[in-house]
Structures are given as structure tokens and as C-alpha cells.
Structure 1
Amino acid sequence: MQGSQIKVEIKKLSHGEGLPLPCYATTQSAGMDLYAALNDFAVLNPLERLLIPTGIVIAIPNGFEGQIRPRSGLAAKHGITILNSPGTIDSDYRGEVKVCLINLSNQPYKIKREDRIAQILISSVSQVIWNDTKEFCIEETDRSAEGFGSSGK
């Protein structure tokens, strides 16, 4: 079964020219790879964070969001992840997509132009309308109000 498709407008900025558009690595990938739109390279030192440009601006339709997520290979092999993971791109944002990377390893990591640095998923969202009430009818669950490790290790 194939998921639904939506059209999202995308524009390359001047420093993104020559880079691939975000794309799926395989036919069943959930996320599309994002590329570093650096002039040359940047060094991400241990415990340092950098905002890496992607060279693109996108127009996400109302009712959807962009989720910026880490690439598992960067995290597992090099300790590079996204600080605010997942990062959210709201449908009304029209600035450049940037990725806040952090180096959790003890070695500097070199990020080069066109490196795949993150992935983006476009997902539908719902907006909540709160029903402020004085009487709260709680449906009992096995978990109840327990949290922070109460469901097991």
C-alpha cells in the first residue's frame, strides 16, 4: 500500500545551487535526505552545536508540518545528532531550512558541502481545541497517572 502524496513547493537559494533536492534513499523510506549547503566545510567539535544551512526554502501546506530528524548512521558511527530532535517546520515558515547539529562524540567531525546531514518528513497535523472543564471524567487505564519509567525498563 502506498501512502498519500502532497505537493510541496521548494526553492533553491543561491548557495544551494548544484545540490540535490531532498529525496528518498529507497522506495519505502519515510524521510528525505537533506544536504549541507556549505561553501566548503565546517568542523563540529565535541559538544559543539552548529546551525547548518540546506540551501532550500519550502512552502508546507496548511495542515502539515516538516519534521527534521537525525540520520541514524551519523548518530551511530560519529555521535552526530540533531539538538532539537525532531525539529518542527510549521506550515507558515518561509525561511531557509537549517539543521541544528550537535557532536556528542569526543572527536571533531568535518561536515562537507553536499553531505547528507538530516532527514525531513512531511506529516499531517491536527490542531487541538481545549475543552476547559471543572469535572474531568477520566477513563481508567492500566497505567493511570504513573509515568517516568512506570511501564518497565
Structure 2
Amino acid sequence: MSQATYEVQIKKLPGNEDVPMPQQMSELAAGFDLYAAVEQPLTLAPGHRALVPTGFAMALPPQLEAQVRPRSGLAYKHGVTCLNSPGTIDADYRGEVKVLLINHGQVAFTIERNERIAQMVIQEVPTVQLVQVDELTETVRGEGGFGHTGTK
């Protein structure tokens, strides 16, 4: 089964000529690594957060969205992850892509220019029509929510 190929326009923002463009780090990588375009090193104290620039903007086709997600290595080694994860970039957004990072670790973490800080996964968005009804179809689960199965 062949997959659709989409063109996504990327614009490097002025002053960021040295910052790498988003890139897949292996042949089958789902995400594109994003790089910090900070002008000076940015230190995140434990419990603090910052909006980190990436130095680029993009134009997604209408049927796509981009999701900004944590890098597993930063989360595991340093406790640094993304808030609002996954963060959604809509097809009509044309501003700089930024990453909201938080330090959940016990020590300060410094973000250097051109450091890989997150990953971006681009997904198709189906066209959906919400239909208001008076009753919903029944299922075995029904209204069972958080922890309803009794598992730990």
C-alpha cells in the first residue's frame, strides 16, 4: 500500500542560518528532530519552563498537522520534556515553531544553540463532522472511565 507524499514548505528565519533544519535521524524515524535557536545558552532550573525558538516557520497543507513531542533521551537523562504534549501546529499557522520545555529533573539544565530539543511528527487530519444526537449507541464499556477495569 503506497502512502501519500506531501510537500511542507519550510522557511528559515533571519539570524538562524546556522541552525539545522528539522531532520529525520534515521531512515524509518517518524519524527523530525527540532533544534534550539536560542541566542544565548538558556538554563532551565528544576520546575521551570521556557518557550524555546527553533528558527523556522512552515506552511502545512490543509490536510496535515504537526505534533511537537519530547525527545526521549532528554526526558530520561535530564527530566526535560515538553509541556502541552503533543503540542499541535495547525495548517494555518505561519509563525515561528517554538517548543515549550519544562525541567522535571533535580538539577538545572542548560539548552545550547543547535541542541536537539524535541521532535515533530506530521500527521494527516481527517475531515470530521460532529453530529448532535439525543442518544448514543451502547457498548459493553458504557460510561466506565478512569480506572474502571480495576487494574493498577
TM range (shorter): over 0.9
Aligned 1:1-153 pairs, distance under 5 A: 3-134=3-134, 136-141=135-140, 143-151=141-149, 152-153=151-152
CA contact (8 A) 1:36 1:112 kept: yes
Once the 2 structures are TM-superposed, how far is the Cα of residue 144 of structure 1 from its aligned partner? 1.9
What's the TM-score, normalizing by structure 2?
0.93
Task: Describe the shift of the 1:146–1:120 C-alpha distance in structure 2 as closer, same or farther (beyond 3 A).
Answer: same
Once the 2 structures are TM-superposed, how far is the Cα of residue 76 of structure 1 from its aligned partner? 0.5
Task: Describe the shift of the 1:31–1:72 C-alpha distance in structure 2 as closer, same or farther (beyond 3 A).
Answer: same
What amino acid is aligned across from residue 149 of structure 1 in structure 2?
G
- In structure 2, what is the Cα distance between the partners aligned to 1:84 and 1:137? 30
Structure 1, residues 12-37: CA drift from partner, whole Å, max 9, x if none? 01232112110111011100000000
Once the 2 structures are TM-superposed, how far is the Cα of residue 6 of structure 1 from its aligned partner? 1.1
CA contact (8 A) 1:15 1:37 kept: no
CA contact (8 A) 1:15 1:38 kept: no
- In structure 2, what is the Cα distance between the partners aligned to 1:61 and 1:4? 12
Structure 1, residues 29-64: CA drift from partner, whole Å, max 9, x if none? 100000000113100111100000000000011011
Of all paired residues, the percent bearing the same amino acid is 48
Once the 2 structures are TM-superposed, how far is the Cα of residue 71 of structure 1 from its aligned partner? 0.2
Once the 2 structures are TM-superposed, how far is the Cα of residue 2 of structure 1 from its aligned partner? 6.8
What's the TM-score, normalizing by structure 1?
0.93
Structure 2, unmatched stretches of 5+, are: none
Question: What RMSD, in angstroms, separates the aligned Cα atoms of the two structures?
Answer: 1.4
State the 4+ residue runs in structure 1 displaced beyond 6 angstroms: none
Once the 2 structures are TM-superposed, how far is the Cα of residue 129 of structure 1 from its aligned partner? 1.5
